[in-house]
Structure 1
């Protein structure tokens, strides 16, 4: 008797495990970058989103090389001791690679790099586990979507989803409507998955993708300079995307 198709398991995602050859190639790329560029910046990302990181890569495509991913591989490429460091002073940078951080190699003047990243911010939707940055109250009346200008009410076929997410709506002239104001979230409290989904549906963005510069290695002196006031506030480090496996500069965790 042939097997039932219902019992067949189909994998919806296929992620190839990184091989030793791939890691070795990545290490060589990092070391080549240390030979080519005048400085290397260590950075961290707040509210990691692959789309925004790709934007940074695109904007710096002709003037920098960016690596973001598995810290152990990047640190090993630089060398974690004075005896192993690929170039003078890189071990000081390698020992600072902890958590979700990246490397940016460039010839751009330090002040220009600092100013560019201080200015680059991309608002985005919060995820479950992020902290609400403000209290949001949906007023009584039609439930509105703020993705467009001016805002428009939700269509009737989305009323079941709004109810499932916790809104007490009723249909008024074919429009999902609140009979009383609904507090969607409180400032300073952790967002649930339902709250995060409602914020996204209504078009309320609560997190900001940004890059915090931590330190800079200078090829001329071999010194590693700590960035005064660098890094990101703890509140900016919410639930993040996983690293994009399709990015040639990304090194996924096993």
Structure 2
């Protein structure tokens, strides 16, 4: 009998916060353990401002490897929470780093290649509500030629002091969209998106590395308790 879509286990962006049954949990645990056997190295990494589109791009670029995000408790069970239950020696040390916004990368690529990629990788995107502004954005009074007349009502609804004059949207006074480090409201996040300001930086940070030859090593102490 084919497995239902709800219970299907997939990696990377598709392993989100969906509810899976007992069969699905068991399938994920087995899949993780198969990856332990197949790949030489496991990396624990943290991420910020995650976007599914960016993760899909990573999946394509690293098609010879496997990413797993989310379900930290299940990942811990698969790896083993202690020396008695770990699937391979010292994997319980990897499991202990699985807290918060973290993921696992299984790969056979060289350590230097992995390290260089993670250190250099960064992708910009539009910030969401609740994020912090990375700069102060102020608009001067006058014509807003980047917008069309049909957007006037939308901008007004977002709190911008605008009016339509001869088919051109005009800002009736200087307007500060956001201050640096300010927590963005839904309205301010939308205005920044309409203006083309990308205040979110999708970044990855290596935390730990486990390999069959060298065992476990800490790469960053960020997030450790």
Normalised by the length of structure 1, the TM-score is 0.78
Structure 2: gaps (5+ residues): 1-16
- Distance verdict in 2 for CA 1:226–1:118, change over 3 Å: same
Alpha-carbon distance, 1:16 to partner:
6.7
Q: Provide the C-alpha distance between the structure 2 equivalents of 1:35 and 1:190, rounded to a whole number of angstroms.
A: 44
Q: Who is 1:27 aligned against?
A: 29
Matches for 1:232-251 after TM superposition, within 5 Å:
none
Query: Does 2:98 match 1:97?
Result: yes
Matches within 5 A, 1:101-140: 101-140=102-141
Q: Provide structure 1 residue ranges, at least 5 long, that are not aligned to the other structure.
A: 1-14, 145-152, 233-254
Matches of 1:98 and 1:226, distance apart in 2: 15
Query: In the alignment, is the contact (CA less than 8 A) between 1:212 and 1:231 conserved in 2?
Result: no
Work out whether residues 133 and 182 of structure 2, in 8 Å CA contact, stay in contact via their aligned partners in 1: yes
> Structure 1 residue runs of 4+, over 3 Å off?
none
Matched residue count: 207
Q: Which residue of 2 aligns with 1:172?
A: 165
TM-score norm. by structure 2 comes to 0.88
Taking only aligned residues, the RMSD between alpha carbons, in angstroms, comes to 1.6
Contact 1:133 1:187 (8 Å CA) reproduced:
yes
Q: Report the CA distance between 1:173 and its aligned residue.
A: 2.4
Structure of higher RCO (CA pairs closer than 8 Å, 6+ residues apart): 1
Give the match's secondary structure for 1:201.
Answer: helix
For 1:88-129, what per-residue CA distance to the aligned partner results, in whole angstroms no more than 9, with x for missing partners? 110011011111211101111111101111111110111111
What is the SS of the residue equivalent to 1:116? helix
